[in-house]
Structure 1
Amino acid sequence: MPSKGHSNSTARHSVPTSDGSVSRRRLLGTAATAIVAGAGVSAASGSVAADTGGIAELDFRDGVPDVTDAPQDEAEIVFKIHGYTSSSASVERAATFRDTARAVGYDEPVAAVTWDDGGLPTTAIQSARDTGDLFAAWLADYVDANPSTTIRILGHSMGGIVQMETLAAINGEFTVATADSIGSYEASDAPCEDGDFFDAIRTSAEAVHNYYSTNDAVARLGSGPADCGGWFSDGTTPDNYADVDVSDSVSDHSAYREATGCVAAIVDNY
């Protein structure tokens, strides 16, 4: 397939692969599976309780919620997806992002997307992938009921897996305005031409951003730019995809939502 993407700058950050070796970031990402179980503890310990008033929750743990569970007839809305071991704090996590966004001048509604993150990391990852299908089906109905509403998705950590799987399940039937991630636990080559989500990104969203921090010891894609320097990749990502370095404001895996610099960068792309 001819390349429809742009040259990705991550090639220069990768270990040379001419000898068939896997890049250092992918090896580190694989090792991170062993420590991702600690992500929820880190996220909880670093947060200040937020006022959850006004945050609607879409709870996918027991099936697909009603379209009317989300705000209706809004100019735009952000659907915030939590990470591993954070389902019980999903609304609070969304409220923290909303409050930081308000502080930098963004006043649109934020809704919490809650998925079943129970069990071991491997179980939770599969649940995140399954939730992407459910959320895409829900969004299709929401778009039908709210055709003038601008849709934005923001997934944190394993919520970044839900984000990508949602785009794949939408499959170009409609487009959301932005589908972004912070500290994503999706694979580091996911947006690349030979990755799993190149076409999904290109056809199902107007823009996709990976807000990453090199201080994040848990994330995979979210610990650096997309890694297209592997065995068979040609180093391209879709034209509507961008890696955004927020390392200066994000000190660790739990800091994205409260970091003014990070949230300001997100809002600047809205």
Structure 2
Amino acid sequence: MKRRTFCKLAGAGAIGVASSVTSVQAAETVPLVTTRGHFDIEWGSVVRDDRYGPQEYATNGAVPGVDTGSCAPDLTVFVHGYKTKAGEAAETTSDVESSLADSGYGGTTIGYAWDADNPLWDWWETTEIARKNGPKLARFTLDYLAACPDATVRYVGYSLGAQVVLSAAQTLASWGRGETVDALTLLGAAADDQSASASGRYGPALEQVVGRVDNYWNEDDSVLNWAYGTAEFDGALGANGIEGTPPANYWDHDVSYVPDHFSYYDADEGCVDDVVANW
């Protein structure tokens, strides 16, 4: 595992668990950025391991640009959801990579693994961990673009992974960046339905640093309606669409044809064809 630091070049009922047995072998070659082990929960508080800085990340040695020396001109970073275990991130990313390719995407897909596999009673702390991964993903993004200045970077955040990519956009904006991420795609987003609005937590940043934002939501997503609604006492962006005035570069997409929370990126039943078409 290779560590990366600030500005140094060369991770039913549970929200966000989905993978397939067929992806295991392919997953062995999936490039991964990882922050696994960077955060823990102690007595109800999120604690960052002081061996790792707030913007530090690691890789599995296979990430284009920062590891391999060769740039991927079109890079998509997929961020998994809640309850995904350490060994499952590569499998899930492999599924997404295959679905994107089947839908006509010709770029490179890598995964971002983070400390998401915490008990249900640690939900609120896990959402905090997701947001604290924003600066780490933002730092990777700038490191990648420094190594590959002509490249395009896209984010895909699934379920609670949506809060990772939204926080990364917020971080990039706080650093004074202009448009840095070509597209930010949300699939079944476990984030507050007001948070992406023009007056919400992330809306101004999305308009500042992202080319286009696409939110794929499903009002029949029973996991978001039950689990997220119960935990947060509020509606989810992935179940309701946006509440409030959207940023000028934001589009909601009602994908009620997706059968459940775990199928958004399924090659047969998901909405990946629409994702690629809108890119």
Length-normalised TM-score, structure 1: 0.77
Aligned to 2:184: 179
How many residue pairs get aligned? The number is 224
Counterpart in the other structure of 2:253: 244
Match of 2:31 in 1: 56
Shift in Å, 1:159: 0.2
Where 1:214 maps in the other structure, the secondary structure is coil
Go from structure 1 to structure 2 and tell me whether the alpha carbon gap of 1:67 and 1:48 turns closer, same or farther (over 3 Å shift). Answer: closer
What whole-Å deviation, never above 9, does each CA across 1:104-149 have from its counterpart, x for those lacking one?
2223211010011133211210100000111111211111111111
User: Map of 1:1-270 to 2, 5 A cutoff?
Assistant: 38-40=14-16, 43=18, 47-50=20-23, 51-61=26-36, 62=38, 63=52, 64-65=57-58, 69-72=62-65, 73-88=71-86, 89-119=88-118, 120-171=122-173, 172-174=176-178, 175-219=180-224, 220-228=236-244, 236-248=245-257, 250-260=258-268, 262-270=271-279
* 1:209-248 deviation line (CA, Å, top 9, x unaligned): 11111221233111131022xxxxxxx1111011111211
Gaps of 5+ in 2: 1-11, 39-51, 66-70, 225-235
- Match of 1:208, SS? strand
- In structure 1, the gaps of 5 or more residues are 1-35, 229-235
> RMSD across aligned C-alpha pairs, in angstroms?
2.0
1:35-78 Cα deviation digits (max 9, x unpaired): x962256x35xx44313254201111244125965212111011
The one-letter code of the counterpart of 1:254 is: F
* In 2, Cα distance between equivalents of 1:202 and 1:40: 26
CA distance in 1, matches of 2:237, 2:16: 18
- Quick one: distance in 2 between partners of 1:269 and 1:60? 30
Distance in 1 of aligned mates of 2:60 and 2:214: 26
Letter in 1 for 2:210: A
Q: Pick closer, same or farther for the CA change 1:67–1:187 going to 2, 3 Å.
A: same
2:241 corresponds to which letter in structure 1? P
Q: Is this contact kept in 2: 1:209–1:242, CA < 8 A?
A: yes
For normalisation by structure 2, the TM-score amounts to 0.75
Q: Greater CA deviation, 89-98 or 260-269?
A: 260-269
Structure 2 counterpart of 1:125, which letter?
Answer: T
User: C-alpha separation between the residues in 2 aligned to 1:48 and 1:256?
Assistant: 17
Give the 3-state SS of the residue equivalent to 2:133 in structure 1: helix
Q: Is the 8 A contact 1:67 1:141 kept in 2?
A: no
Deviations for 1:174-226, whole angstroms, at most 9, x for unmatched residues? 41100111000011111112211111110010011111112212331111310
Higher relative contact order (CA 8 A, sep 6+): 1
Contact 1:93–1:257 (8 Å) recurs in 2: no
Which amino acid counterpart does residue 183 of structure 1 have in structure 2?
G
What fraction of aligned residue pairs are identical, expressed as a percent?
A: 27
Give the aligned partner of residue 228 of structure 2.
Answer: none
1:136·1:166 contact (CA, 8 Å) conserved in 2? yes
Contact conserved, 1:155 with 1:184, CA < 8 A, in 2?
yes
- 2:223 partner SS: coil
What CA distance in whole angstroms lies between the structure 2 residues aligned with 1:49 and 1:110?
Answer: 18
Hey, what's the Cα distance between the residues in 2 that align with 1:87 and 1:143? 29
What secondary structure does 1:38 align onto? coil
State the distance in 2 between where 1:188 and 1:221 align: 4
Distance 1:259 1:252 in 2: 14
Q: Secondary structure at the match of 1:39?
A: coil
